[in-house]
Amino acid sequence: MTMPTWERRMLLRAAAGLAAAGAATLPAGTAAAGTGHRGPVVLQPHRGPARGHYLPARPETVTWGRLPNRDSTPATVVDSGSVITIDTISHEGVLEDQGRDPLAYFTGHGVPPSQVLTDAVEVAARVAHDGPGPHVVTGPVAVRGAEPGHTLKIEVLDLRLRVPYGVVSNRHGKGALPGEYPEAWAGRAEFAPYFNSGGNVSVFTEVGTRRGELVGVLPGGAARFPLAPFLGVMGVARDTSDLVNSVPPTDAGGNIDINDLGVGSTLYLPVRVPGALFFTGDPHMAQGDGEVALTAMEGSLRATFRLTAIPPGGPAPKLAFDEPFGETPSHWVPIGLSDPDGPVGGQVTSLDVAMRRAVRSALRFLTEERGMPEPVAYAYLSAATDFQVSQVVDITTGIHGLIRKTDFGR
Protein backbone atom coordinates (compact mmCIF):
# COMPACT_ATOMS: atom_id res chain seq x y z
CA MET A 1 0.00 0.00 0.00
CA THR A 2 1.40 3.40 -1.04
CA MET A 3 1.95 5.81 1.84
CA PRO A 4 0.17 9.15 1.27
CA THR A 5 2.45 12.10 0.52
CA TRP A 6 1.37 13.93 3.68
CA GLU A 7 2.22 10.89 5.82
CA ARG A 8 5.68 10.63 4.26
CA ARG A 9 6.23 14.32 5.02
CA MET A 10 5.05 13.73 8.57
CA LEU A 11 7.60 10.95 9.09
CA LEU A 12 10.39 13.11 7.72
CA ARG A 13 9.35 15.96 9.97
CA ALA A 14 9.27 13.68 12.99
CA ALA A 15 12.74 12.44 12.15
CA ALA A 16 13.91 16.05 12.14
CA GLY A 17 12.47 16.54 15.61
CA LEU A 18 9.79 19.01 14.53
CA ALA A 19 6.65 16.92 14.81
CA ALA A 20 4.06 17.99 17.34
CA ALA A 21 3.19 15.80 20.28
CA GLY A 22 0.74 12.97 19.66
CA ALA A 23 -1.53 11.63 22.36
CA ALA A 24 -0.82 13.38 25.64
CA THR A 25 -2.12 13.63 29.15
CA LEU A 26 -1.56 17.09 30.53
CA PRO A 27 -0.73 17.65 34.18
CA ALA A 28 -3.71 18.48 36.31
CA GLY A 29 -4.20 22.16 37.02
CA THR A 30 -6.79 24.38 38.57
CA ALA A 31 -10.31 24.36 37.20
CA ALA A 32 -10.28 25.74 33.67
CA ALA A 33 -12.64 28.36 32.36
CA GLY A 34 -15.15 27.20 29.84
CA THR A 35 -18.77 27.73 29.06
CA GLY A 36 -20.00 26.75 32.52
CA HIS A 37 -20.00 28.54 35.84
CA ARG A 38 -16.35 28.44 36.89
CA GLY A 39 -14.18 31.52 36.90
CA PRO A 40 -11.46 31.97 34.28
CA VAL A 41 -7.88 30.88 34.81
CA VAL A 42 -4.92 30.95 32.44
CA LEU A 43 -4.33 27.85 30.34
CA GLN A 44 -0.68 28.06 29.39
CA PRO A 45 0.58 25.46 26.89
CA HIS A 46 0.86 21.94 28.33
CA ARG A 47 -1.02 23.00 31.46
CA GLY A 48 -4.57 22.12 32.43
CA PRO A 49 -7.00 19.55 31.08
CA ALA A 50 -7.03 18.07 27.60
CA ARG A 51 -8.79 15.08 26.04
CA GLY A 52 -7.28 12.66 23.54
CA HIS A 53 -4.41 13.96 21.46
CA TYR A 54 -3.06 17.38 22.38
CA LEU A 55 -1.76 19.88 19.81
CA PRO A 56 -0.14 23.00 21.28
CA ALA A 57 0.18 26.24 19.33
CA ARG A 58 3.91 26.41 18.69
CA PRO A 59 5.91 28.11 15.93
CA GLU A 60 6.13 24.78 14.09
CA THR A 61 2.38 24.05 14.40
CA VAL A 62 0.88 27.41 13.33
CA THR A 63 0.67 29.64 10.30
CA TRP A 64 0.00 33.37 10.41
CA GLY A 65 -2.20 35.07 7.86
CA ARG A 66 -2.54 32.07 5.57
CA LEU A 67 -4.22 28.68 5.63
CA PRO A 68 -2.79 25.22 5.01
CA ASN A 69 -3.01 23.93 1.43
CA ARG A 70 -2.46 20.56 -0.22
CA ASP A 71 1.33 20.86 0.20
CA SER A 72 1.24 21.54 3.95
CA THR A 73 2.96 19.13 6.33
CA PRO A 74 0.64 17.89 9.09
CA ALA A 75 1.36 19.04 12.62
CA THR A 76 0.00 15.70 13.82
CA VAL A 77 -1.93 12.69 12.49
CA VAL A 78 -4.98 11.06 14.09
CA ASP A 79 -7.25 8.15 13.30
CA SER A 80 -10.76 8.86 12.08
CA GLY A 81 -13.07 9.19 15.07
CA SER A 82 -10.31 10.46 17.35
CA VAL A 83 -10.64 13.20 19.93
CA ILE A 84 -8.07 15.97 19.80
CA THR A 85 -7.52 19.07 21.94
CA ILE A 86 -6.01 22.05 20.13
CA ASP A 87 -4.69 25.28 21.60
CA THR A 88 -5.57 28.39 19.62
CA ILE A 89 -4.07 31.87 19.86
CA SER A 90 -5.96 35.08 19.18
CA HIS A 91 -4.27 37.44 16.74
CA GLU A 92 -5.38 40.38 18.90
CA GLY A 93 -2.45 41.59 20.97
CA VAL A 94 -0.06 39.85 18.57
CA LEU A 95 -0.59 42.00 15.46
CA GLU A 96 1.80 44.66 14.27
CA ASP A 97 -0.58 47.58 14.87
CA GLN A 98 -0.58 46.55 18.54
CA GLY A 99 3.22 46.34 18.67
CA ARG A 100 3.68 42.62 17.88
CA ASP A 101 4.54 42.19 21.54
CA PRO A 102 1.68 40.58 23.50
CA LEU A 103 3.53 40.85 26.80
CA ALA A 104 3.90 44.62 26.48
CA TYR A 105 0.45 45.08 24.97
CA PHE A 106 -1.51 43.18 27.60
CA THR A 107 0.51 44.29 30.62
CA GLY A 108 -0.13 47.81 29.34
CA HIS A 109 -3.81 47.08 29.93
CA GLY A 110 -3.16 45.90 33.49
CA VAL A 111 -2.81 42.18 32.81
CA PRO A 112 -0.25 40.50 35.10
CA PRO A 113 2.67 39.01 33.14
CA SER A 114 1.70 35.53 34.39
CA GLN A 115 -1.64 35.88 32.56
CA VAL A 116 -0.05 36.53 29.17
CA LEU A 117 0.19 33.34 27.12
CA THR A 118 3.77 32.22 26.58
CA ASP A 119 2.89 30.64 23.23
CA ALA A 120 1.46 33.96 22.01
CA VAL A 121 4.73 35.65 22.95
CA GLU A 122 6.71 32.94 21.17
CA VAL A 123 4.59 33.07 18.01
CA ALA A 124 4.85 36.86 17.82
CA ALA A 125 8.63 36.65 18.11
CA ARG A 126 9.37 33.62 15.92
CA VAL A 127 6.62 33.07 13.33
CA ALA A 128 6.63 34.89 10.00
CA HIS A 129 3.45 36.83 9.31
CA ASP A 130 3.62 35.72 5.70
CA GLY A 131 -0.02 35.73 4.67
CA PRO A 132 -2.42 38.59 3.94
CA GLY A 133 -4.79 37.77 6.79
CA PRO A 134 -4.42 38.46 10.52
CA HIS A 135 -5.23 35.00 11.90
CA VAL A 136 -2.92 32.65 13.79
CA VAL A 137 -4.04 29.17 12.70
CA THR A 138 -3.13 25.90 14.45
CA GLY A 139 -2.64 22.74 12.39
CA PRO A 140 -3.11 21.07 10.08
CA VAL A 141 -4.29 17.76 11.52
CA ALA A 142 -4.26 14.85 9.07
CA VAL A 143 -7.08 12.34 9.57
CA ARG A 144 -6.22 8.81 8.47
CA GLY A 145 -8.68 7.47 5.94
CA ALA A 146 -10.01 10.88 4.87
CA GLU A 147 -10.00 11.10 1.09
CA PRO A 148 -11.34 13.53 -1.52
CA GLY A 149 -15.06 12.89 -1.91
CA HIS A 150 -15.51 12.28 1.83
CA THR A 151 -16.85 14.80 4.31
CA LEU A 152 -15.07 15.56 7.57
CA LYS A 153 -17.41 15.58 10.57
CA ILE A 154 -16.07 18.06 13.13
CA GLU A 155 -17.79 17.75 16.50
CA VAL A 156 -17.06 20.60 18.92
CA LEU A 157 -16.85 18.85 22.29
CA ASP A 158 -15.40 21.56 24.53
CA LEU A 159 -14.20 25.17 24.40
CA ARG A 160 -12.29 26.69 27.32
CA LEU A 161 -11.11 30.23 27.79
CA ARG A 162 -7.34 30.33 28.03
CA VAL A 163 -7.21 33.90 29.38
CA PRO A 164 -9.66 36.16 31.28
CA TYR A 165 -9.68 38.94 28.68
CA GLY A 166 -10.21 39.68 25.01
CA VAL A 167 -10.05 42.49 22.45
CA VAL A 168 -12.54 43.94 19.96
CA SER A 169 -10.97 45.88 17.08
CA ASN A 170 -12.05 48.19 14.26
CA ARG A 171 -9.39 48.84 11.64
CA HIS A 172 -9.19 51.45 8.89
CA GLY A 173 -10.83 50.29 5.69
CA LYS A 174 -12.51 47.36 7.45
CA GLY A 175 -15.79 46.67 9.20
CA ALA A 176 -19.34 47.34 8.02
CA LEU A 177 -18.70 51.10 7.72
CA PRO A 178 -15.28 51.39 6.04
CA GLY A 179 -14.14 54.96 5.60
CA GLU A 180 -16.44 56.17 8.37
CA TYR A 181 -14.98 54.45 11.42
CA PRO A 182 -12.50 54.61 13.04
CA GLU A 183 -11.60 57.63 10.87
CA ALA A 184 -14.30 59.82 12.47
CA TRP A 185 -12.77 59.30 15.92
CA ALA A 186 -9.18 60.19 15.01
CA GLY A 187 -7.80 63.19 16.90
CA ARG A 188 -10.53 63.23 19.53
CA ALA A 189 -8.85 63.25 22.92
CA GLU A 190 -11.62 61.33 24.67
CA PHE A 191 -11.19 58.42 22.27
CA ALA A 192 -7.37 58.31 22.40
CA PRO A 193 -7.29 55.44 24.96
CA TYR A 194 -9.01 53.17 22.43
CA PHE A 195 -6.52 53.70 19.60
CA ASN A 196 -3.63 51.26 19.38
CA SER A 197 -0.07 52.05 18.34
CA GLY A 198 -0.92 51.54 14.66
CA GLY A 199 -3.74 54.07 14.64
CA ASN A 200 -6.57 51.53 14.72
CA VAL A 201 -9.16 51.04 17.44
CA SER A 202 -8.72 48.12 19.87
CA VAL A 203 -11.06 47.89 22.86
CA PHE A 204 -9.61 45.76 25.66
CA THR A 205 -12.41 43.77 27.30
CA GLU A 206 -12.17 41.88 30.58
CA VAL A 207 -13.97 38.66 31.46
CA GLY A 208 -16.21 38.91 34.51
CA THR A 209 -19.16 37.09 36.00
CA ARG A 210 -22.84 37.90 36.36
CA ARG A 211 -25.11 35.59 38.33
CA GLY A 212 -22.55 32.82 37.95
CA GLU A 213 -22.17 33.21 34.16
CA LEU A 214 -19.12 34.51 32.32
CA VAL A 215 -19.56 37.92 30.68
CA GLY A 216 -17.50 40.39 28.71
CA VAL A 217 -17.03 43.70 30.52
CA LEU A 218 -16.45 46.77 28.36
CA PRO A 219 -14.19 49.58 29.63
CA GLY A 220 -15.66 51.42 32.58
CA GLY A 221 -18.39 48.81 32.89
CA ALA A 222 -20.28 50.45 30.00
CA ALA A 223 -21.96 47.12 29.24
CA ARG A 224 -21.75 43.45 30.18
CA PHE A 225 -22.68 40.78 27.68
CA PRO A 226 -22.76 36.97 27.89
CA LEU A 227 -19.86 34.99 26.51
CA ALA A 228 -20.54 32.29 23.92
CA PRO A 229 -17.18 30.92 22.73
CA PHE A 230 -16.70 29.48 19.25
CA LEU A 231 -13.96 29.15 16.64
CA GLY A 232 -14.21 31.63 13.79
CA VAL A 233 -11.87 29.48 11.67
CA MET A 234 -12.47 25.77 11.14
CA GLY A 235 -11.46 24.35 7.80
CA VAL A 236 -9.78 21.74 5.66
CA ALA A 237 -7.07 22.30 3.08
CA ARG A 238 -8.04 23.40 -0.39
CA ASP A 239 -6.64 21.44 -3.32
CA THR A 240 -4.18 24.10 -4.39
CA SER A 241 -0.50 24.94 -4.06
CA ASP A 242 -1.27 28.66 -4.05
CA LEU A 243 -1.11 30.75 -0.89
CA VAL A 244 -4.55 30.73 0.74
CA ASN A 245 -5.62 33.97 2.46
CA SER A 246 -6.98 33.32 5.97
CA VAL A 247 -9.72 35.96 5.65
CA PRO A 248 -12.35 34.82 3.10
CA PRO A 249 -14.24 31.59 3.87
CA THR A 250 -14.67 29.07 1.06
CA ASP A 251 -16.37 25.77 0.29
CA ALA A 252 -13.59 24.17 2.40
CA GLY A 253 -14.59 26.21 5.45
CA GLY A 254 -12.03 28.56 6.94
CA ASN A 255 -13.11 31.88 8.41
CA ILE A 256 -16.86 31.20 8.37
CA ASP A 257 -17.52 33.08 11.65
CA ILE A 258 -20.83 31.40 12.53
CA ASN A 259 -21.51 32.02 16.20
CA ASP A 260 -23.94 29.08 16.46
CA LEU A 261 -21.05 26.61 16.08
CA GLY A 262 -20.13 26.45 19.76
CA VAL A 263 -19.93 23.51 22.15
CA GLY A 264 -22.26 20.69 21.10
CA SER A 265 -22.31 21.72 17.43
CA THR A 266 -21.08 19.84 14.38
CA LEU A 267 -19.57 21.21 11.19
CA TYR A 268 -19.30 19.09 8.05
CA LEU A 269 -16.68 20.06 5.47
CA PRO A 270 -16.08 18.35 2.11
CA VAL A 271 -12.62 16.80 1.98
CA ARG A 272 -10.45 18.14 -0.87
CA VAL A 273 -7.06 16.48 -0.22
CA PRO A 274 -5.89 13.17 1.33
CA GLY A 275 -5.96 13.42 5.12
CA ALA A 276 -8.35 16.40 4.98
CA LEU A 277 -5.73 18.56 6.80
CA PHE A 278 -8.02 20.15 9.39
CA PHE A 279 -7.04 23.47 10.98
CA THR A 280 -8.59 25.94 13.40
CA GLY A 281 -8.07 29.41 14.87
CA ASP A 282 -9.61 32.87 15.17
CA PRO A 283 -10.97 32.04 18.65
CA HIS A 284 -13.94 34.13 19.72
CA MET A 285 -15.34 34.61 23.21
CA ALA A 286 -18.47 36.34 21.90
CA GLN A 287 -19.74 37.68 18.58
CA GLY A 288 -22.93 39.31 17.39
CA ASP A 289 -24.36 38.26 14.03
CA GLY A 290 -22.67 40.39 11.40
CA GLU A 291 -19.45 41.07 13.36
CA VAL A 292 -19.90 44.65 12.20
CA ALA A 293 -16.85 46.45 13.69
CA LEU A 294 -14.51 43.88 12.08
CA THR A 295 -13.70 41.53 14.96
CA ALA A 296 -15.60 39.69 17.62
CA MET A 297 -14.48 39.68 21.24
CA GLU A 298 -11.30 37.88 20.29
CA GLY A 299 -9.61 35.76 22.93
CA SER A 300 -7.54 32.57 22.96
CA LEU A 301 -9.38 29.26 23.48
CA ARG A 302 -8.54 25.60 24.08
CA ALA A 303 -10.77 23.52 21.81
CA THR A 304 -11.58 19.82 21.87
CA PHE A 305 -12.95 18.13 18.74
CA ARG A 306 -13.86 14.70 17.45
CA LEU A 307 -12.76 14.36 13.81
CA THR A 308 -14.44 11.67 11.71
CA ALA A 309 -14.03 10.99 7.99
CA ILE A 310 -17.33 9.92 6.42
CA PRO A 311 -17.31 8.33 2.94
CA PRO A 312 -20.04 9.02 0.36
CA GLY A 313 -23.28 7.41 1.40
CA GLY A 314 -22.25 7.49 5.07
CA PRO A 315 -24.15 9.09 7.97
CA ALA A 316 -24.06 12.73 6.90
CA PRO A 317 -26.37 15.01 4.91
CA LYS A 318 -25.83 14.56 1.16
CA LEU A 319 -24.99 18.20 0.57
CA ALA A 320 -22.23 17.99 3.21
CA PHE A 321 -20.10 16.18 0.62
CA ASP A 322 -20.25 19.27 -1.60
CA GLU A 323 -20.36 22.27 0.72
CA PRO A 324 -20.10 23.27 4.40
CA PHE A 325 -23.09 22.36 6.57
CA GLY A 326 -23.62 22.86 10.29
CA GLU A 327 -25.72 21.30 13.01
CA THR A 328 -26.48 22.15 16.63
CA PRO A 329 -28.49 20.17 19.18
CA SER A 330 -31.56 22.22 18.22
CA HIS A 331 -31.04 23.27 14.58
CA TRP A 332 -29.70 22.28 11.18
CA VAL A 333 -27.55 25.07 9.77
CA PRO A 334 -27.31 25.45 5.97
CA ILE A 335 -24.55 27.87 4.99
CA GLY A 336 -24.47 30.37 2.14
CA LEU A 337 -21.25 32.11 1.07
CA SER A 338 -21.13 34.89 -1.49
CA ASP A 339 -18.03 33.40 -3.17
CA PRO A 340 -17.39 29.79 -2.12
CA ASP A 341 -14.58 29.21 -4.63
CA GLY A 342 -12.49 32.03 -3.18
CA PRO A 343 -10.55 34.39 -5.41
CA VAL A 344 -11.15 32.42 -8.63
CA GLY A 345 -12.53 34.89 -11.17
CA GLY A 346 -12.67 37.77 -8.69
CA GLN A 347 -14.22 38.20 -5.26
CA VAL A 348 -18.00 38.43 -4.79
CA THR A 349 -19.07 40.21 -1.59
CA SER A 350 -22.83 40.55 -2.06
CA LEU A 351 -25.05 39.53 0.86
CA ASP A 352 -27.82 39.00 -1.71
CA VAL A 353 -25.72 36.26 -3.33
CA ALA A 354 -24.94 34.71 0.06
CA MET A 355 -28.64 34.73 0.94
CA ARG A 356 -29.64 32.98 -2.28
CA ARG A 357 -26.98 30.34 -1.72
CA ALA A 358 -28.16 29.75 1.86
CA VAL A 359 -31.78 29.35 0.74
CA ARG A 360 -30.80 26.95 -2.03
CA SER A 361 -28.80 24.87 0.45
CA ALA A 362 -31.72 24.84 2.87
CA LEU A 363 -34.08 23.72 0.09
CA ARG A 364 -31.70 20.96 -0.92
CA PHE A 365 -31.41 19.73 2.67
CA LEU A 366 -35.17 19.63 3.21
CA THR A 367 -35.88 17.84 -0.05
CA GLU A 368 -33.01 15.34 0.11
CA GLU A 369 -32.96 14.61 3.83
CA ARG A 370 -36.55 15.26 4.91
CA GLY A 371 -38.32 14.25 1.70
CA MET A 372 -40.30 17.48 1.46
CA PRO A 373 -41.72 18.54 -1.93
CA GLU A 374 -39.90 21.64 -3.08
CA PRO A 375 -42.94 23.97 -2.99
CA VAL A 376 -43.68 22.84 0.56
CA ALA A 377 -40.05 23.23 1.62
CA TYR A 378 -39.90 26.76 0.19
CA ALA A 379 -43.08 27.65 2.05
CA TYR A 380 -41.69 26.18 5.28
CA LEU A 381 -38.49 28.21 5.02
CA SER A 382 -40.48 31.40 4.57
CA ALA A 383 -42.80 30.67 7.48
CA ALA A 384 -40.50 29.12 10.04
CA THR A 385 -36.75 29.48 9.35
CA ASP A 386 -34.50 32.36 10.38
CA PHE A 387 -31.68 33.36 8.05
CA GLN A 388 -28.97 35.26 9.86
CA VAL A 389 -25.99 37.27 8.71
CA SER A 390 -22.91 35.31 9.78
CA GLN A 391 -20.54 38.18 9.02
CA VAL A 392 -20.13 41.08 6.58
CA VAL A 393 -16.39 41.71 7.07
CA ASP A 394 -14.51 38.72 5.62
CA ILE A 395 -14.42 39.77 1.93
CA THR A 396 -16.67 36.79 1.19
CA THR A 397 -19.88 37.44 3.13
CA GLY A 398 -21.98 34.78 4.82
CA ILE A 399 -25.61 33.96 5.62
CA HIS A 400 -26.71 30.87 7.53
CA GLY A 401 -30.13 29.40 8.15
CA LEU A 402 -31.48 27.91 11.38
CA ILE A 403 -33.91 25.05 10.72
CA ARG A 404 -35.56 23.89 13.97
CA LYS A 405 -35.34 20.14 14.55
CA THR A 406 -38.45 20.17 16.75
CA ASP A 407 -40.53 21.12 13.72
CA PHE A 408 -39.84 17.64 12.38
CA GLY A 409 -40.80 15.63 15.42
CA ARG A 410 -37.32 15.61 17.00
Encode burial over 312-346: b for 16+ CB neighbours within 10 A, e otherwise. Answer: eeeebbebbbebbbbbbeebbbbbbbbbbebeeee
Strand partners, 284: 230, 298
Which residues of the chain are modeled with pLDDT < 70?
Answer: 1-40, 410
Coil, strand or helix at 263: coil
Strand partners, 4: none
Within 10 angstroms of residue 37's Cβ, the number of other Cβ atoms is 10
* Residue range 244-281, pLDDT digits in tens: 999 999 999 999 999 999 999 999 999 999 999 999 99
CA distances for 275 relative to 24, 30, 89, 236, 264, angstroms: 21, 35, 24, 9, 24
Whether domain 5-166+228-311 has CATH 2.60.120.580: the reply is: yes
Q: Where are the domains of the chain?
A: 5-166+228-311, 169-225, 330-408
pLDDT of residue 343: 75
Distance, CA of 218 to chain centre? 23
- Burial (Cβ within 10 Å: 0-12, 13-18, ≥19) of residue 248: buried
pLDDT of residue 24: 38
Q: pTM score > 0.75 for this model? A: yes
Among positive and negative, which fits the CA dihedral 173, 281, 136, 199? positive
Return the amino acid letter for 118. Answer: T
Please tell me what DSSP assigns to residue 96.
G
Question: What homologous superfamily is domain 330-408 in, according to CATH?
Answer: Acetamidase/Formamidase-like domains (3.10.28.20)
* Residue range 301-327, pLDDT digits in tens: 999 999 999 999 999 999 999 999 999
Return the amino acid letter for 229. Answer: P
Backbone angles phi, psi at 25, to 5 degrees: -115, 115
* Residue range 177-192, pLDDT digits in tens: 999 999 999 999 999 9
